[in-house]
Structure 1
């Protein structure tokens, strides 16, 4: 299994196979007209765009940190698979095995938020019961997010599934505002996409790296005004993008992605117009 690995500073990043969805392009780009967004991101005949759900493994100082968990296995009905365009489920065991690791080797799981396409891989079926996928890991979830998923509203109950959080609740550590999981590796609360949504900011060994999660799920969402119809608080999404994306581009930071069909990591020029360097997704296994 060919996995993308990227070594930078004192860290190694590896993108695991967490499955794939194909979501409605109009919903993913909100009020942006299709003639505009379709120039930047490919769309199929059903008006769906490919969105990977590939967890990012960060190895540093002998620790294994996982960002997001993928869509798991056996979590969706045939109807849901059609609606969400799920054409491939997760292969986390195989991905980790190719690195000489198992799910028990994951020390920390960093959740930007707990929507189904990020959290369904947190628990798995074992003899007709759900158990934690990463039994020894500590999960970091922002407090607002954790409170809402346990008492979802009429809108959010369609994405916060009990089978994704109940099996791991004894492993969860909540935080307010921000948490530094390891030196220079920090989850920061932004809100916007969900009320408890976070980004991952890495400032370590002279390198600056941002995972904007679903504030910028793909490289085509760089424009601060291009926000999702799925966002609960779109104005907050725009404000957070202004606060973090614009200065990061000027400072030549790297951006990493969980959903992008093409790019795993990239760096734009200081004006944000051209991609200077990139780590591309490997399509050999397709």
Structure 2
């Protein structure tokens, strides 16, 4: 497990599963000869995408950022369609760290698409129960409302088995939510309720842009996903927070990137520091 140690906060990436999605969809209108130089694809034009939650340890608090693909939830057809070759091993990784799912105090949901939210619940008998029964689950109100009443486009990614068992644990916010040095900020873009994460710890700044910058190869502010519901909002939010992060020498962290966990860039877009994923 890769880690990033700040002054008072430690981040650890857990194994939440992997899927392979169409590279063209992940890079929108960007031509393949451009994006494939930065992020390789297989012979089916698919790119590898992790779904790895980040465990944030702050004092005696254990906080997850998103929850991975879970296990036992995808049908064989869904596994084929999503290229889901590996399900979640979050509980196993927590055990290696001396923790259990009951030790998670907060879950910060950047959004509630299936590849981020399937790990919220787990199978029991013929139904589903909360995978993290003691956690407060934080999400933007817009996202939570759409999760429960999806539209014709979003109903394929907002699943009732991911929200019904945990609805009593959910705390919603409008524009921002904070816990000490950790702040969630609603951006929209990828989904109407999409949020990002900011951590200010001493002299260090960390920005987790979730799916408005899902991999290091999406650094260009115009490289947004065909999956984005509001792509121009993604562009505006990414432009704002990229500029802010570069000005403050921020770490940019990733949930989906198969190659890097975190990257620092300078003002000329050169990598100055990085944490590579062990493959």
Is the structural similarity TM-score above 0.5?
yes
The CA deviation at 1:194 is 0.3
CA contact (8 A) 1:6 1:12 kept: yes
Check if 1:278 corresponds to 2:274: yes
Match of 2:65 in 1: 67
In 2, distance between residues paired with 1:250 and 1:219?
A: 18
The CA deviation at 1:247 is 2.3
TM-score, normalised relative to structure 2: 0.99
Which piece of structure 1 moves more, 197-206 or 114-123? Answer: 197-206
In 1, distance between residues paired with 2:247 and 2:175?
A: 24
Match of 1:106 in 2: 104
Check if 1:207 corresponds to 2:207: no
Match of 2:124 in 1: 126
In 2, distance between residues paired with 1:127 and 1:157?
A: 25
CA contact (8 A) 1:65 1:106 kept: yes
Match of 1:183 in 2: 180
In 2, distance between residues paired with 1:126 and 1:99?
A: 25
Check if 1:251 corresponds to 2:248: yes
TM-score, normalised relative to structure 1: 0.96
Check if 1:261 corresponds to 2:258: yes
Root-mean-square deviation over aligned CA pairs: 0.7
The CA deviation at 1:271 is 2.0
CA contact (8 A) 2:6 2:201 kept: no
Check if 1:34 corresponds to 2:32: yes
* Runs of 4+ displaced beyond 4 Å: none
In 2, distance between residues paired with 1:94 and 1:265?
A: 23
The CA deviation at 1:56 is 0.1
Q: What 5-or-longer segments of structure 2 have no aligned partner?
A: none
CA contact (8 A) 1:104 1:137 kept: yes
CA contact (8 A) 1:250 1:271 kept: no
CA contact (8 A) 2:137 2:169 kept: yes
In 2, distance between residues paired with 1:258 and 1:106?
A: 18
Match of 1:163 in 2: 161
Q: How many residues align?
A: 279
Q: What 5-or-longer segments of structure 1 have no aligned partner?
A: none
Name the SS for the 2:273 alignment partner.
strand
The CA deviation at 1:12 is 0.8
Check if 1:55 corresponds to 2:45: no
In 1, distance between residues paired with 2:210 and 2:43?
A: 26
